[in-house]
Amino acid sequence: MPAQLIDGIALSQKLRGEIAARAAALTAKGKQPGLAVILVGEDPASQVYVRNKVKACGDVGFHSVLEKYEAELSETALLARIAKLNADPAIHGILVQMPLPKHINPHKVIEAISTTKDVDGYSVLSAGELMTGLPGFRPCTPYGCMKLIESTGVDLRGKHAVVIGRSNTVGKPMGLLLLQANATVTICHSATPDLGLHTRQADVVVAAVGRRNTLTADMVKPGAIVIDVGMNRDDAGKLCGDVDFAGVKEVASHITPVPGGVGPMTITMLLMNTVEAAERL
């Protein structure tokens, strides 16, 4: 029996309805949630993403501002803009789209954002809060992956979860969130000699590598949950994930598609963090 699809668009719609209700309650109290999105440079993919984020804000009743700057913007000027937004009472979340041009130090930029407005969850403080289990903003992509896994109704306690990838934005926080949900966690990466050895034991696989066909059917235990974080292009230029979807869907119990899986949930969790920020401030 082929796997059940985990629909990131449907789950997003449900959660965005709840977010819109929270936003309306805040707006009625004169505190409409506000997100500022900063884009530096003309990367075409980034242009699409930030436009989607701003549109999603409008859909749930947030105030949003999109600030676009040429690639030559100085680091000093960017830090000055962030300082202004930190002090702006109409703004509850600040997102600086990554990647930044090479002359700008991303760590410096992330740490400049007020921790109360770090809705990406990228700061060192947010990372520490996640690691210690303190409340704080969780990075949107792994947070969305957790919601997708929860939506299957499968309890993670005692399950073996394998994460492929160890980035600061996805792989590492994903491992910590799974651990917090009482899974046994393995994190695999480019230096793992035999990836399939690990993934074949997994009840849950999260693939976040950025290379298509990284996870194939022979590497998946029958009945496993498969979450695909990848955003790649196939030979025809079509968007595809890290998972060989056609093959793996015949083995897994649940699987996310690309597009329509993790991507929309990343934006949904950004909205969730922003409404949370507005409630707290």
Ligand X SMILES: Nc1nc(=O)c2c([nH]1)NC[C@@H]1CN(c3ccc(C(=O)N[C@@H](CCC(=O)O)C(=O)O)cc3)C=[N+]21
194 backbone dihedrals φ, ψ, rounded to 5°? -130, 90
| Cα gap 176→70, rounded to integer Å | 36
| Cα gap 189→270, rounded to integer Å | 26
Instruction: Collapse the DSSP code of 227 into the 3-class scheme (helix H, G, I; strand E, B; otherwise coil) and give the result.
Output: strand
* CB closer to ligand X out of 117 and 160: 117
Stretch that binds ligand X, among 145-153, 173-181, 208-216, 261-269 (CB under 6 A): 261-269
* 10 forms part of the interface with ligand X (CB under 6 A): no
* 120 forms part of the interface with ligand X (CB under 6 A): yes
* 64 forms part of the interface with ligand X (CB under 6 A): no
Give the position of tokens 């501002």: 65
Catalytic residue among 118, 120, 203, 228: 120
Give the position of tokens 């298509």: 212
| Cα gap 68→58, rounded to integer Å | 18
59 is catalytic: no
171 in a labelled binding site: no
166 in a labelled binding site: yes
| Cα gap 267→269, rounded to integer Å | 5
Shortest Cβ distance from residue 78 to ligand X (Å)? 13
* CB closer to ligand X out of 175 and 257: 257
| Cα gap 113→85, rounded to integer Å | 9
* 56 forms part of the interface with ligand X (CB under 6 A): no
Catalytic residue among 53, 117, 147, 172: 53
Contacts of 220 (CB under 8 A, 6+ apart): 199, 200, 202, 205, 226, 248, 251, 252
* CB closer to ligand X out of 49 and 176: 49
53 is catalytic: yes
Instruction: Pick the binder of ligand X from 65, 98, 179, 217 (CB under 6 A).
Output: 98
* 49 forms part of the interface with ligand X (CB under 6 A): yes
| Cα gap 149→139, rounded to integer Å | 16
74 in a labelled binding site: no
Binding site listing for NADP(+): 165-167
Please report, as ranges, the residues that interact with ligand X according to CB under 6 A. Answer: 48-49, 52, 95-98, 120, 140, 231, 239, 258-260, 263-264, 266-267
